[in-house]
């Protein structure tokens, strides 16, 4: 088995208290990385959760933040770089949704879902890239997308559209910042048996039937997504940029017949 050592590396993670993120945090911490964790959950609750995950208090810094608040997010990014000037890996993992059919979703709710899943990632990118360019750091930004960015589904139009925008944005950034030594990649899970994916799977029979048929009746485990992040954060992925790693158990094939 390949052993990945991330000792000495600092990794910044948004959406760090989620169901998939639990396994990302565990994998990255076990590999030796220091973690800067961002989530909307209040700090005292987050610390209790991290303790239950057996993450040492010395292995992370935590900030409570709604990442759609660009001002606060930028301040946290700047403070994190003051503490860790050479931080070179950032995971834009925050995202998710429930079912929101277009006809019954208000304009405000549609915009909220889109802002959370796309524009907040733009805010993160702007703040982080400013630090990397200023410090001449060859950084690596990794987003979490979804196979629905490329395989349309009903009842999640704002979410699917936001993820499609995110994947294109990531590739644009990989091109635009290549001369600065900055890499951008995306991990695109299929239907994961955790988090918002689980919610949609449970609530939408047509979606559930499609997922089970295309993936031979199997669903992504959150551990498999964490392993994909561990790989991209490691030296094994040092020459990968502008790519979408589809850890989706075949969901992205898109055969709906």
* Mutual angle of helices 120-135 and 70-83, in 10-degree steps: 30
The answer to whether 170 and 185 have CB atoms below 8 angstroms apart is yes
CB atoms within 10 A of CB 149: 21
Note the helical H segments in 38-156.
Answer: 43-52, 70-83, 107-114, 120-135
Least Cα distance to 123 among 74, 195, 75 occurs for 74
- E strands of the chain, at which residues? 10-14, 34-39, 60-64, 89-92, 140-144, 183-187, 244-245
CA-angle at 140, arms to 134 and 143, nearest 5°: 120
What is the distance between the alpha carbons of residues 221 and 177, in angstroms, rounded to a whole number?
33
Quick one: tokens of 29?
Answer: 């911490």
CA-angle at 87, arms to 137 and 168, nearest 5°: 70
Q: Distance of CA 192 to CAs 184, 196, 204, 239, Å?
A: 23, 8, 14, 27
Contacts of 166 (CB under 8 A, 6+ apart): 117, 118, 121, 143, 145, 149, 186
Coil, strand or helix at 12: strand
Identified catalytic residue from 123, 147, 159, 207: 159
Q: Is 147 a catalytic residue?
A: no
Q: Which residues are catalytic?
A: 159
């Amino acid at each position: 088995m390949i052993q990945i050592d991330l000792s000495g590396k600092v990794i910044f993670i948004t959406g760090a208290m989620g169901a998939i993120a639990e396994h990302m945090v565990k994998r990255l911490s076990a590999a030796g990385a220091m973690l800067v964790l961002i989530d909307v959950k209040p700090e005292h609750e987050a610390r209790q959760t991290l303790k239950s995950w057996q993450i040492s208090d010395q292995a992370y810094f935590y900030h409570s933040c709604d990442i759609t608040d660009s001002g606060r997010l930028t301040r946290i990014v700047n403070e994190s770089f003051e503490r860790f000037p050479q931080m070179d890996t950032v995971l834009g993992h925050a995202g998710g949704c429930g079912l929101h059919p277009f006809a019954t979703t208000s304009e405000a709710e549609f915009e909220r879902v889109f802002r959370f899943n796309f524009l907040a990632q733009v805010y993160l990118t702007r703040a982080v890239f400013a630090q990397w360019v200023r410090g001449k750091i060859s950084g690596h930004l990794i987003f979490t997308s979804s196979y629905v960015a490329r395989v349309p589904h009903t009842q999640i139009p704002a979410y699917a559209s936001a993820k499609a925008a995110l994947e294109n944005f990531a590739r644009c950034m990989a091109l635009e910042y290549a001369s600065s030594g900055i890499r951008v990649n995306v991990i695109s899970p299929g239907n994961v048996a955790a988090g918002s994916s689980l919610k949609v799977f449970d609530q939408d029979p047509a979606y559930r039937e499609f997922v089970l048929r295309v993936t031979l009746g199997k669903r992504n485990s959150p551990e498999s997504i964490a392993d994909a992040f561990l790989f991209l954060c490691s030296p094994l992925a040092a020459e990968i940029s502008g790519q979408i790693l589809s850890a989706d158990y075949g969901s992205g094939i898109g055969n709906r017949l």
